[in-house]
Amino acid sequence: MFDRSRINAFAKQETPFYYYDIALLEQTLTSALEAADTLGFHVHYALKANFNNRLLERIRDLGFGADCVSGNEVRRAVETRFDPGKIVFAGVGKSDKEITYALNEDIFAFNVESIQELQVIDGLAAGLGKIARVALRINPNVDAHTHQYITTGLDENKFGIAQWDLPEAVETLRKCRHIELVGIHFHVGSQITDLNVFKSLCVKVNELNNWFDERGFRLRILNVGGGLGVDYHEPDAYPIPDFRAYFSVFGEFLERKPGQEVHFELGRALVSQCGSLVSRVLYVKNGIKKNFLIIDAGMTELMRPALYQAYHRIENLTAAAADNDNTDEPPLHYDVVGPICESTDCFGKEVPLPKTQRGDLIAIRTAGAYGEVMASRYNLREEIRYVYSDES
């Protein structure tokens, strides 16, 4: 991903910054669309993964829809000129202000997560003289076999309508005069690499699709969410997920009724590998038990390791670009940490790297999703900077 000329150019940049490989982004997006189009599937991009304007423009231009989980994400999608007819608004805690904004923009649908939310949207739509299209987000109680903090489809999670509440939800829908039920929605978690999880989801979707059909609801949309994982350990070996295998699971196991559309909400799988966080070594602290690399990026720039204990591959770019005669030397092991005044400000422990010194450039890979969007100003840090591969 980084040739010598690129690394030499990085050396002239102020760090830390996010580097986005636009060519890889486009290859990934095209691969996803081609695999989805083969089966007639529709893909919405999940803005929560990354709402960098340059990336959003490329995603919009290729025809993706937008999956939003806040009113400001809806606003960003509208301002970036996504087709409102392809914008969906999910989220367990939509405020009246957010709902009203989305209604006025005539977005495609709300993914509704509670019976009370149905009633609130119906009332707000009535006040505006509008009909709100909704899909019921149902908690399928399917285990994603991923980190507990990014699992969303179990009974113990806050997301979605419990299956035992569906009869009441149906009765509520029959009373709502300003709501049109267009589909059902599911999302079981994130960073899922076992495709059998999606097979289990299909079984549940089929069951509930029939349940609604038997009660007179002809659903137009089956929204099965996203969650497809990426390879954090070998980003160069597997830069693009196997979208064909992913979509094929749903093509084979999902039982669509005539005229039904299948919608997806992919985020991480589309943008993770195109982004890296580039930082510079400030200090090297060698000790008896630990060697520390203190870099100028911190948990304020990339929260995932502190929040989820997430793994990211860490590379010494300066060593990679150098003409080094000591390539046979064994690596040293470093704890790579940032400057933030928190012990959780650590990107990796015992990371094997070539001998590293002050001023070396470090890349933290696969940071295109849930990196920039989670950045903060804690410790009064500076705003994050960006470098794009198609700019000189």
- Give how far Cα 101 sits from Cα of 74, 94, 105, Å: 9, 11, 6
The C-alpha atoms of residue 292 and residue 286 are separated, in whole angstroms, by: 6
Strand locations in the chain, DSSP E? 17-20, 42-46, 65-68, 87-89, 109-112, 132-137, 179-185, 221-223, 261-266, 275-286, 291-295, 314-316, 332-337, 346-353, 361-364, 385-388
Q: What does residue 209 show for φ and ψ, rounded to 5 degrees?
A: -60, -45
Q: Mean pLDDT, to the nearest integer, of 23-50?
A: 98
**pLDDT value of residue 160:** 84
Residue 144 has pLDDT above 80, yes or no: no
Q: Which two tokens stand for residue 101?
A: 């904004």
- Structural domains in the chain, CATH included, are 4-17+274-388 (2.40.37.10), 22-271 (3.20.20.10)
Mean of per-residue pLDDT scores for the chain: 93
- The predicted-structure confidence for 97-123, as pLDDT tens digits, reads as follows 999 999 999 999 999 999 999 999 999
- The number of residues making up the chain comes to 392
User: Maximum distance among all alpha carbons in the chain?
Assistant: 76
Type of residue at 27? Q
Type of residue at 68? C
**Contact by Cβ (8 Å): 186, 179:** no
**pLDDT value of residue 156:** 52
What is the C-alpha R_g of the chain?
Answer: 23
**How many C-beta atoms surround the C-beta of residue 195 within 10 A?**
14
**pLDDT value of residue 367:** 98
pLDDT band of residue 42 (cuts 50, 70, 90) is very high
More confident residue, 390 or 324: 390
Q: Mean pLDDT, to the nearest integer, of 162-188?
A: 95
Across 52-56, 103-107, 139-143, 263-267, least confident range: 139-143
The C-alpha atoms of residue 238 and residue 271 are separated, in whole angstroms, by: 13
Q: Residue 156 contacts by C-beta under 8 Å, 6 or more apart in sequence?
A: none
Which of 241, 193, 190, 247 minimizes the C-alpha distance to 370? Answer: 190
Q: Which two tokens stand for residue 282?
A: 């400030």
More confident residue, 328 or 106: 106
pLDDT band of residue 288 (cuts 50, 70, 90) is confident
Residue 212 has pLDDT above 80, yes or no: yes
Q: Mean pLDDT, to the nearest integer, of 20-46?
A: 98
Residue 149 has pLDDT above 70, yes or no: no
> Residue 372: helix, strand or coil by DSSP?
helix
- Backbone region of residue 281 per phi and psi (left: phi > 0; alpha: psi in -120 to 50; beta: other values): beta
More confident residue, 113 or 392: 113
**pLDDT value of residue 175:** 96
**pLDDT value of residue 152:** 43
Q: Which two tokens stand for residue 132?
A: 């709100």
Across 115-129, 155-169, 257-271, 293-307, least confident range: 155-169
**pLDDT value of residue 286:** 87
Type of residue at 359? G
**pLDDT value of residue 324:** 63
- The predicted-structure confidence for 43-100, as pLDDT tens digits, reads as follows 999 999 999 999 999 999 999 999 999 999 999 999 999 999 999 999 999 999 999 9
The C-alpha atoms of residue 325 and residue 339 are separated, in whole angstroms, by: 32
More confident residue, 144 or 302: 302
- The predicted-structure confidence for 340-390, as pLDDT tens digits, reads as follows 999 999 999 999 999 999 999 999 999 999 999 999 999 999 999 999 999
Residue 1 has pLDDT above 80, yes or no: no
Tally of CA atoms within 13 A in the half-sphere of 157 that contains its CB: 26
Type of residue at 235? P
CA 80 vs. chain centroid, Å, equals 18
More confident residue, 272 or 188: 272
Type of residue at 286? N
Which of 181, 211, 177 minimizes the C-alpha distance to 110? Answer: 181
Residue carrying the six token digits 């090297």? 284
